[in-house]
């Protein structure tokens, strides 16, 4: 470099003022230092919020937008959490059903399995409604059960089930339903159809297997009950054979 005067040198030194840190780094560092202190202060709930805020604000860049997003996020989580305790007739009940369907889909359950779980949940809803004495909600709860039973019956007809555990689950659900206080669904056609489908499927399945003489006799009784339309008793006989 050619000779420079002291004045020129000082001017060049002053130009080094152009050196500045990256803005995003500076903002992030400040946020980290100050939010870290809030965590140390032991304000657990608040600190979790701040941590989430930092993560979200990194995505959104604007803190106000990040706050709005966090509020919406908490609202959604709150709504889904609260919906778990609703029964038919409640405002958030459809959300509960959507959540159950999503969970069933995520766990990879078959259509019949999903229907069985849903039926069990709806029976629990009916039991809860009956226990709380919410008479206005009982018809809605029964209507939900009918819809589930109808769906399950259709699925069983389309996809006959040979798994005895599945049949036991259905049988248990039907027994629970019969035990639910203050509800008499013995004349309900959807439920009768479900019993019929289950028994028919089981009898057809048992015909394909080799049975002892005792069990053949029980099967004959079950068939007789089936033809008499006494499906519940027929199912109990079949369960005896499968024990």
Between 32 and 159, CB nearer to another protein: 32
Q: Whose structure tokens read 């060049």? A: 12
| Residues 40-59 as x/- pattern, contact with another protein by CB under 8 A | -x------------------
Between 38 and 223, CB nearer to another protein: 38
Q: Whose structure tokens read 């079949």? A: 238
Q: If binding is defined by CB under 8 A, does position 3 make contact with another protein?
A: yes
Between 1 and 45, CB nearer to another protein: 1
Question: Residue 63 Cβ, how far from another protein at the closest point, in Å?
Answer: 13
Length of the chain equals 243
How remote is the C-alpha of 129 from its chain's centroid? 20
Between 1 and 91, CB nearer to another protein: 1
User: 92: which 2 tokens?
Assistant: 């958030």
Contact between residue 234 and residue 218 where contact means Cβ atoms under 8 Å apart: no
Choice from 9, 58, 98, 216 touching another protein (CB under 8 A): 9
CA nearest to 62, candidates 92, 70, 214, 160 = 70
Q: If binding is defined by CB under 8 A, does position 13 make contact with another protein?
A: yes
Torsional class of 83: left (φ above 0), alpha (ψ -120 to 50), beta (otherwise) = alpha
Q: Which stretch binds another protein (CB under 8 A): 31-39, 79-87, 97-105, 192-200?
A: 31-39
Choice from 24, 37, 132, 179 touching another protein (CB under 8 A): 37
Q: Whose structure tokens read 């006799």? A: 217
Between 8 and 107, CB nearer to another protein: 8
Q: If binding is defined by CB under 8 A, does position 79 make contact with another protein?
A: no
Q: Whose structure tokens read 């604007």? A: 62
Q: If binding is defined by CB under 8 A, does position 168 make contact with another protein?
A: no
- Report the alpha-carbon distance of residue 43 to residue 184 in Å, rounded: 53
């Amino acid at each position: 470099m050619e000779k420079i005067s002291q004045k020129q040198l000082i001017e060049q030194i002053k130009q080094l003022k152009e050196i500045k840190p990256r803005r995003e780094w500076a903002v992030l560092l400040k946020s980290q230092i100050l939010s870290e202190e809030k965590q140390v202060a032991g304000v657990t709930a608040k600190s979790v919020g701040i941590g989430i805020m930092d993560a979200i604000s990194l995505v959104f860049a604007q803190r106000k937008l990040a706050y709005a997003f966090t509020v919406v996020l908490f609202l959604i989580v709150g709504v889904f959490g609260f919906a778990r305790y609703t029964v038919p007739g409640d405002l958030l009940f459809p959300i509960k059903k959507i959540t159950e369907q999503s969970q069933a889909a995520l766990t990879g359950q078959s259509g019949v399995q999903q229907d069985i779980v849903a039926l069990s949940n709806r029976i629990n809803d009916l039991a809860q409604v009956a226990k709380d004495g919410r008479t206005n909600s009982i018809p809605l709860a029964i209507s939900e059960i009918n819809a589930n039973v109808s769906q399950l019956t259709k699925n069983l007809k389309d996809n006959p089930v040979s798994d005895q555990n599945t049949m036991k689950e259905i049988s248990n659900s039907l027994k629970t339903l019969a035990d639910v206080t203050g509800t008499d669904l013995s004349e309900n056609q959807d439920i009768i159809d479900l019993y019929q489908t289950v028994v028919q499927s089981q009898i057809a399945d048992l015909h394909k297997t080799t049975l002892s003489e005792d069990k053949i006799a029980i099967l004959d009784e079950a068939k007789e009950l089936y033809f008499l339309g006494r499906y519940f008793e027929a199912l109990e006989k079949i369960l005896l054979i499968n024990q």
